[in-house]
Amino acid sequence: MRNSTVWYPFTQHALEPAMRRVVRTEGAYLIDEHGAAILDAISSWWVITHGHRHPAIMEAIRMATETHDQIIFAEYTHAPAEDLARGLIEIAPPGLAHVFYSDSGSTAVEVALKMALGFFHNLGRPRNRICVLEHGYHGDTIGTMSAGERGVFNAPYAPLLFAVDRLPFPEPDQEQTTLDAFEAACATGEVAALLIEPLLLGAGGMKTYEPSVLAKLKRIAERHGSLLIADEVMTGWGRTGRLFACEQAGITPDILCTSKGLTGGALPLAATLCTAEIFEAHLSTDRRKTFFHSSSYTANPIACAAALANLAVWKEEPVRERIDALTEEQRRHVARFADDPRFSDTRQFGTIAALDLKVPAGGYLSEIGPRLRAFFRERRLLIRPLGNVIYLMPPYCVTADELDRAFGAIDEAASLFAAGRL
């Protein structure tokens, strides 16, 4: 597709090979125009949970198109959005009470940031500081880029970005440094919220930290009257082994952001959940306290119907058993490489596995990244390393044999690189 007029995301068109046209998806596979079945080992950028084109979700979409298309979500409402909101509150960490819809992970986080600032503004005691973890990634809109790690992703847009307070990542045996930094920031009385990816940083290199650290950060926030925003866009819907990663720390965030797996990956939809206290700070006869945010496609009924079907899949199918089985398979495979000198680090968290290939120069722009992608593409595997960080985040329908094939390719790639042939 060299003659395409499409400008593709995260693609350097001067260097990348021609795009492969996908004509069909099924289960854990993408089928290209030549009939090749490509194992989707990263769930098409982390969105596909149960597998491509899950029958119940596809049927819900078809049925919804018989009665709805987009409906203005002000003055008017519809059953899919109302039912979905109730369903989300039922399964979310206890204490969350209201749901605000948007259409992507980035916008879900933007909504959360505005909720946090609006909360304190409407109470008459404005707080303007936002704390984040270093290496974090929260999206590609202006607010989420501001909150994310600064670097190659956002350097050209620096004049547009606002300042945030960055806490050091809680590396093993250095967690107290992170906690002390957050305590000191909160002690100023100016911190509105800590925005954090719970337990696992995605685009920041699949870095993990202990649930106890998240629990302690939440207690610090509570002690100082600051909010905690959990960006569960990637970690939600079972990726870390539980429905939401916050459950593993035993906390309820003040605001929770979800997208990606919300519809099982079938359609774009996002939701930002918050406590009653945050909602009520915006509830007033004074119209200036209105939460001023929307997008044209807020709460699209067809997307909401897909999400409702996803909730039903979680209730009616053995999804947790599939997650447990996948978690065990990932653990078994990663253990094979634990002391392998070809890798500088290996780790597994729930359904996610990551291995850092030992290279002279790591990071997202490591030269090995494109070569690894090409290697995996030749073997009909969709694996997109983050530079030298090779990770697998497959849909829950993936089989043990399919994982064997993916890890076998990783093993082969590491050997070829060590031999100077990749």
DSSP string, 253-265: -SEEEE-GGGGTT
- Alpha-carbon gap, residue 317 to 297, rounded angstroms: 30
Q: Bridge partners of 274?
A: 98, 255
Residue that has been written with the tokens 């634990």 in this structure: 338
Going by their DSSP bridges, the two strands 165-167 and 227-231 should be labelled as unpaired
pTM confidence score? 0.97
List the domains of the chain with CATH numbers: 57-316 (3.40.640.10), 320-418 (3.90.1150.10)
422 residues of the chain, pLDDT tens digit each: 568 999 999 999 999 999 999 999 999 999 999 999 999 999 999 999 999 999 999 999 999 999 999 999 999 999 999 999 999 999 999 999 999 999 999 999 999 999 999 999 999 999 999 999 999 999 999 999 999 999 988 999 999 999 999 999 999 999 999 999 999 999 999 999 999 999 999 999 999 999 999 999 999 999 999 999 999 999 999 999 999 999 999 999 999 999 999 999 999 999 999 999 999 999 999 999 999 999 999 999 999 999 999 999 999 999 999 999 999 999 999 999 999 999 999 999 999 999 999 999 988 899 999 999 999 999 999 999 999 999 999 999 999 999 999 999 999 999 999 999 99
- Sheet strands side by side (includes 37-40): 22-26, 29-32, 37-40, 381-382
- Alpha-carbon gap, residue 327 to 300, rounded angstroms: 33
3-state SS class at 16: coil
3-state SS class at 267: coil
3-state SS class at 183: helix
Closest alpha carbon to 195 in 108, 300, 320, 84: 108
